[in-house]
Amino acid sequence: MNDATREELWTIAEDDYPAGGTAAERLRFLAGYAVLAPSVHNIQPWRFRLTGERIELRADRSRALPVRDPDDRELLLSCGAALFHLRLALRRFGHAGEVVLWPDAADPDLFARLGFGPAAEPTAEERTEFAAIPHRRTHRGPLAPRPVPTAVLTELRVLAAEEGAWLHLVESEPERAALVALIEEADRLQAADPALQQELPARVRERAPLAGDAGGASGVPLAADAQVLAVLGTDHDTPRAWLKAGQALARMLLRAQSYGLYASYLNQPVEVPATRVRLPALLAREGHPQLVIRFGYGEPPPPAPRRPLAEIFD
C-alpha cells in the first residue's frame, strides 16, 4: 500500500486486511479507505498519525485555501468525510470504534482520535456503504435525464439527519430557478476576484489535479440540467457542525453510490458570503447551508488521484 500510485489506491481490497497484524498495521490499512473520501476542490487536507492503538486525524495546513476558505469550513467538511470513511472501515472489520473529537484543547488542528473499541459486527447497511467506497466518484459531466426515486432521496435525507445535518431537496421550479440564478451570480463574483482565481490553480490543481472532485468550472449548466438539486446544511455554523456535515456528506454519497447514483458539488453560492447569507431565505428554512449538491445517474467517471499514504502520515 505504501508504494501504491495515486490511482492504485482505489483498488484497495478487503481481503488484504492484515487481521493478524499489529494495531499500527491494521490502522494504516484502514486509513487507505479514509483517503478515498471526497474533499472540496479535491484538496485532500488531511494527515494521520499513529499513537499506540489509536489513529489521529488532523489538518494538513499545506492543503488549505485561505482566500476561498478563510474559516476552514470546507477544510473541516473534507476532513469530516475522511472521518466517516475511517469510522465505517473500523465497523466493517469488526470494531465498534471509539471516536474522541478535538481530544487536545491545545491542538485545534487535531480533529479526532480513533481507536478500535469493542468487537462489533457491522450492520447490513454499513456493509453496503463500505462496499461502495472504492466505487464512489464525483461526476463533473452531464448526467442522464433519468428520475431519481423519491424513496432514495428520502433515505438520503434520513442519513444526513442521523449524522447531525440536514438535506434540503430543491423540488419546485421557482426554487430551482432561484438557486441556479444564485449559482450564476456567485460564479460571476468569484470570476471577478483575482485572488480566488490564483489560489485554486496554485494550491490545488498542481497538488491534486481536479480529475473528478468538486470545484473549478462553472456550475450553471450542471445545475440547470440536474435531475436533483439539494442543499446540505446544519443547524449551527461551527467547526463541530462542519465536521458533522462532512460525515453526513460521505455517508450520503456512499449510499447514493450503492444505488448507482453520482453526485457533484456546486460550491459557488456557499463560498461567496454575499450569496451564502441569502440561501436560507431562498430555501425557506432556518440553518446554515454548507454545500449545494446535484445527484443523478451517469457513466462512471475515472477516479480522482489520491495522495499516497506515505505522504499523509506523520
pLDDT at 257: 97
pTM of the model: 0.93
| Lookup: cell for 307 | 495522495
- pLDDT of 115 > 50? The answer is yes
User: Where would I find the H helices in the chain?
Assistant: 23-34, 73-92, 124-131, 150-162, 173-191, 194-200, 220-225, 239-258, 268-271, 273-276, 279-283, 309-312
- Give ranges for CATH 3.40.109.10 in the chain: 8-136+308-312, 150-297
Report the candidate in 147, 186, 144 with the shortest Cα–Cα distance to residue 272.
186
In three-state secondary structure terms, 279 is helix
Residue 53: other Cβ atoms inside 10 A? 13
Q: What whole-number distance in Å separates Cα of residue 164 and Cα of residue 289? A: 13
Q: What whole-number distance in Å separates Cα of residue 96 and Cα of residue 81? A: 18
Q: How confident is the model at residue 261 (pLDDT cuts 50, 70, 90)?
A: very high
Report the candidate in 52, 56, 9, 51 with the shortest Cα–Cα distance to residue 33.
9
pLDDT digits (tens, 9 = 90+) for 9-59: 999 999 999 999 999 999 999 999 999 999 999 999 999 999 999 999 999
Q: What whole-number distance in Å separates Cα of residue 152 and Cα of residue 38? A: 20
Q: What whole-number distance in Å separates Cα of residue 189 and Cα of residue 184? A: 9
Q: What whole-number distance in Å separates Cα of residue 218 and Cα of residue 189? A: 12
- pLDDT of 279 > 70? The answer is yes
Q: How confident is the model at residue 77 (pLDDT cuts 50, 70, 90)?
A: very high
What is the CATH code for 150-297?
A: 3.40.109.10
- CB-based contacts of 1: which residues, under 8 Å, 6+ apart? 9, 12, 16, 28, 29, 32, 309
Which overall architecture, per CATH, does domain 8-136+308-312 show?
3-Layer(aba) Sandwich (3.40)
- CB-based contacts of 259: which residues, under 8 Å, 6+ apart? 152
Residues 290 and 165: beta-carbon distance below 8 Å: yes
- pLDDT of 295 > 50? The answer is yes
In three-state secondary structure terms, 52 is coil
59 to each of 1, 175, 200, 203, 301, how far by Cα in Å?
Answer: 22, 36, 18, 15, 28
Q: What are phi and psi of 248, to 5 degrees?
A: -65, -40
Q: How confident is the model at residue 197 (pLDDT cuts 50, 70, 90)?
A: confident
